[in-house]
Each structure stands twice: as structure tokens, then as C-alpha cells.
Amino acid sequence: MFTSLGVWATGLVVGFLTGISGMGGILIPPIMILLLGMDTHLAMGTSMTSFLPSSVVTVTMYTRHKLINKKTALPLSVAGVVCVFIGTELKALSSGALLNLLLAGLVIFVGCMVLRPATPRPEAASSTFSTRKAVIQLLVLGGVVGVLSGMTGAGGPVLSVPAMILLGYSPMTAIASGQVYVLLVCSAGSIGNILHDAVDLPLAALCGLGQVIGVWIGLRVAQRLCAETTKKIVAAVCVLSGISILIKTLADIW
């Protein structure tokens, strides 16, 4: 009962952070591991599946407003779907300690990236992004993030969005493509995790429901809050969570 309530509350809080800052999903695995005491493999698999309800809602919203650029979302997502299976296989073969160290490093990295000032470049003409070079860049990016997502249970946009902005895409194009990415990649990754018995479906559903509600609340509150302040809060939580996992894992090893 406590675990179920804790998982739902985790989804609610993380959904709220996502709603007000555009980030937060990467915090679910460390919270499940640190606060709820879940097994590392199970926490990461359950986390990935829990992203599905909110991603369905988000992609539907972006589609209705015609904000999704298929030329960027398609190659990014195709590579992610293929490579997330590699990630889930590597996760199944890896020890909990190794996965925790990887997750800790990733969460700390993301937290530090959030603290960096945003310096997006103006998006170039659409023809630029239809070239072979652009497709290859998106395929590589989607593949690398897909492997990391499969291994850690992170959704993916937390890495793909800033990377796409650095490549020259507009923030809206990057965010919309990231939402398609998380829906398709987490769907594929969930299949891989289920095959390895690394998903608690009832808990994933509870966490997913909490995220949907949290995102809805967060979006309403976001208009009244300073975006930079909320990003700093998310960054601080990421860094502290990563350091906590790192310390706990090293203590268990030694």
C-alpha cells in the first residue's frame, strides 16, 4: 500500500515539475530506488513504462496544433526504437551497481546542463534539415539516447531536446520531436523490459496517472512562476539525487 501510494505521489510530483519546467521525468528512477527501495532493474523498467500515459496526451496535443515536424521526429524516433532494445538487453546483463553508477552520472550531468544559460541558435531553412547530414545526425542522436534510455529508464527528451537545439533546431521543433520520441521509444523499451520481467505494470500505471495529473497542474501553475527558478529547482534535485545514488552505490560496493 505504501509503495503504491509512493509511486503515485512520485508521478504526481515529477509530472508537476515537468509541467512547470519541461523537465523532471529523469527523476523517477532515482526516487523509486532511493525513497521507495525498489530493485534497480525493476525501477528503471517501471519508470520507462510510466511515461506512456502522459506522452500519449502530449503527442495528441502537439498533433492537434500541428507542431510536430515529421522530418525531424521520424529519423530521431526510428533510431531510438531500434537502439532502445540494445539498451534493455544491456540493462538485463548489467549489475544493479553498474546501472546505478550510470544513472547517477546521467542525472548529475542533466542537472548541470539545466543550470547552463539557454543559447539556442535560430533554426535554419527547412531544406537544411532535409539533407543526408541532418538525417545522419538525428539517427546517431536518437540511437545514442535510445541506448541510454533503455539502460536507465529515462525517457529521452531530457537529452535529445538540448542536443537538437545545439544542432540548430528551434526549441519548439526539438520539444515536439522529443515528445514523439518518448512515446515510441518508451513503447518499444517497455516491450523489452517486460520480456525480462523488469516492469511492474500496476505501479507503472499508477505512476503514469500521477504524471498526467501533475503535468496538468504544473502547466496551469507555470504561468505564475519564474521559469528560471523552477529550472534551478529541477537542476538541484537532479544533482542531489545523483550524488545520493552515487554515495549509496559506492557504500554498498565497499
Q: Do the Cβ atoms of 52 and 186 come closer than 8 Å?
A: yes
Of residues 35 and 75, more confidence is placed in 75
For the segment 126-152, the average pLDDT, to the nearest whole number, is 84
**Contact present, 200 and 1 (Cβ < 8 Å):** no
Confidence tier at 127 by pLDDT (50, 70, 90): very low
Q: What is the pLDDT of residue 124?
A: 46
Domain enclosing residue 172, as ranges: 2-253
Give the DSSP letter of residue 126. G
> Given this model, what pLDDT does residue 2 score?
55
pLDDT band at 198 (very low <50, low <70, confident <90, very high): very high
Handedness of CA 192, 162, 142, 112 (dihedral sign): negative
In this predicted model, what pLDDT tens digit does every residue of 41-83 receive, in sequence order? Answer: 999 999 999 999 988 988 998 898 888 999 899 999 999 999 9
Q: Is residue 6's pLDDT more than 50? A: yes
Q: In the prediction, which pLDDT does 170 show?
A: 81
**pLDDT value at 212 more than 90:** yes
Question: Who contacts 33 (Cβ-Cβ below 8 Å, separation ≥6)?
Answer: 40, 43, 100, 103, 245
| Averaged confidence pLDDT in the chain | 85
Residue 215 CA to residue 51 CA, distance in Å, equals: 12
pTM, to two decimals? 0.84
Q: Mark residue 153 as left, alpha or beta (left: phi above 0; alpha: psi -120 to 50; beta: remaining).
A: left
Concatenated DSSP letters of 182-213: HHHHHHHHHHHHHHTT---HHHHHHHHHHHHH
Nearest by Cα to 23 from 100, 99, 84, 113: 113
Give the torsion sign (CA, 214, 116, 61, 47).
negative
Torsion of CA 248, 110, 53, 68, to 10 degrees: -170
**Which pLDDT score, from 0 to 100, does residue 117 have?**
60
Cβ(249)–Cβ(100) below 8 Å: yes
The domain total for the chain is: 1
d(CA 249, CA 33): 11
For 5-26, what is the mean pLDDT?
82
Banded model confidence at residue 125, pLDDT cuts 50, 70, 90: very low
Summarised one tens digit per residue, pLDDT across range 152-176 is 998 777 788 888 877 888 877 888 8
Q: In a 3-state reduction of DSSP, which class is residue 40?
A: helix
